[in-house]
Amino acid sequence: MRSEQEQTVEKKSSNPIAVSIAPWSNVSIQCYDKDVPPFVGAALERLYGNLFSSLAYYRIFGGADQASVYVVREGKNVVCAWLFRRHHNSVRVINEGIRIDQDDVIRFTNYIFATYPTVNVISFHAVRPQMVELPMPYQRFNCLEDMVLTLPSSADSYTSSLGRSTRSYIHRYLNKLKRDFPSFSFRVLTPGAIDESQIRRIVDLNHLRMASKGKESINDENTTQRIIQLASECGMIGVVMLDGRICAGSINYRVGDNYFLETLAHDPAYDDYRIGTLCCYLTICECIARGGNEYHFLWGQDEYKSRLLGVQRDLDDLVIYRSYLHMVLYGKLAMQHAVHAAIRQARMWVRSTRRRNNVGGKMVNALWRMVRGIRQAKS
Q: Per-residue pLDDT averaged across 141-164, rounded?
A: 92
Q: Does residue 210 register a pLDDT over 70?
A: yes
3-state secondary structure 235-283: EEEEEEEECCEEEEEEEEEEECCEEEEEEEEECHHHHHHCHHHHHHHHH
CA dist 349 and 330 (Å) reads 29
Q: Does residue 318 register a pLDDT over 50?
A: yes
DSSP 289: H
The per-residue pLDDT for 360 is: 57
Grade residue 17 by pLDDT with cuts at 50, 70 and 90: low
Q: Per-residue pLDDT averaged across 279-286, rounded?
A: 96
The per-residue pLDDT for 208 is: 84
Q: Minimal CA–CA distance to 253: which of 232, 222, 268?
A: 232
CA dist 183 and 133 (Å) reads 58
Q: Per-residue pLDDT averaged across 190-200, rounded?
A: 92
Q: Using a pLDDT cut of 90, give the percent of the chain over it.
A: 62
CA dist 317 and 144 (Å) reads 9
The per-residue pLDDT for 282 is: 96
Question: Beta partners for 150?
Answer: 294
The per-residue pLDDT for 351 is: 63
The per-residue pLDDT for 26 is: 84
Q: Does residue 95 register a pLDDT over 60?
A: yes
Q: Where are the alpha helices (DSSP H) in the chain?
A: 4-10, 39-48, 55-61, 102-115, 155-161, 164-180, 196-212, 221-234, 275-289, 303-307, 324-329, 331-354, 359-378
Q: Please give the distance of CA 333 from its chain centroid, rounded to a whole number.
A: 25
The per-residue pLDDT for 6 is: 47
CA dist 29 and 271 (Å) reads 54
Q: How many CB atoms lie within 10 A of CB 130?
A: 12
Using DSSP's 3-state secondary structure scheme, residue 66 falls into coil
Task: Express each pLDDT in 237-263 by its tens digit.
Answer: 999 999 999 999 999 999 999 999 999
Grade residue 298 by pLDDT with cuts at 50, 70 and 90: confident
Q: How far is CA 270 from CA 173, 205, 278, 355, in A?
A: 11, 12, 11, 26
Using DSSP's 3-state secondary structure scheme, residue 144 falls into strand
Quote the pTM value.
Answer: 0.82
Domains of the chain: 4-144+315-325+342-348 (3.40.630), 152-292 (3.40.630.30)
The per-residue pLDDT for 83 is: 96
Q: Does residue 2 register a pLDDT over 50?
A: no
Radius of gyration of the chain (CA): 23
The per-residue pLDDT for 218 is: 73
Task: Express each pLDDT in 322-372 by its tens digit.
Answer: 998 988 886 677 677 667 766 766 766 656 665 666 655 556 556 655 555
Q: Using a pLDDT cut of 70, give the percent of the chain over it.
A: 81
CB 26, CB 74: distance < 8 Å: yes
CB 109, CB 122: distance < 8 Å: yes
Please indicate whether residue 371 or residue 181 has the higher confidence score (pLDDT).
181
Grade residue 265 by pLDDT with cuts at 50, 70 and 90: very high
Main-chain phi, psi angles of 232, to 5 degrees: -70, -15
Work out the mean pLDDT of the chain and round it to a whole number. Answer: 85
Query: Which segment of 159-163, 219-223, 340-344, 351-355 scores lowest on mean pLDDT?
Result: 351-355
The pairing of beta strand 90-93 with beta strand 121-130? parallel
